Structure 1
């Protein structure tokens, strides 16, 4: 199945998971996987949350920021991939000067 993210409406999600500012998302969710392109403006973040019943893979397309997973901070930029396994907690923070754009997949575990 081909997904054309440019044809999907960008959905604003204010203070997503308790984060700062607004996360913008273009996504498809079939109940088994959520596949998305997300955008965080400078100073925006996704709040710290634990993946229960799911995991998450984030691939950075543009911009810079940091992920904190289980208390460990990692710098991220274009071409970097962040993985948060099921049962672990993470947050993503755009501390750069441009939008942080990333492709993410959140598979649901049985």
Structure 2
């Protein structure tokens, strides 16, 4: 879902993704949302992510005890970007339908 919201890239999408950041300090749980926000054309949204990361610094685990969850977190940026590429053509044509004030036909 974060990939779709990144493609739509409208203020309400940013609000939804930022609301996840407001709810938790968990690096793993917020990875997709942070990646989606950083993919936005709106650079103001990028500063929200950078502020969040500053307040919740990443504590790199001991490489000897790398968990499956940690490994997955490390790969999520690439996964979100891949999903954006895969879904882009099907999603971008819907962007105007998600703008406030646009009624369903």
Report the TM range for the smaller structure's normalisation: under 0.3
TM-score by length of 1: 0.26
Larger Rg: 2
TM-score by length of 2: 0.27
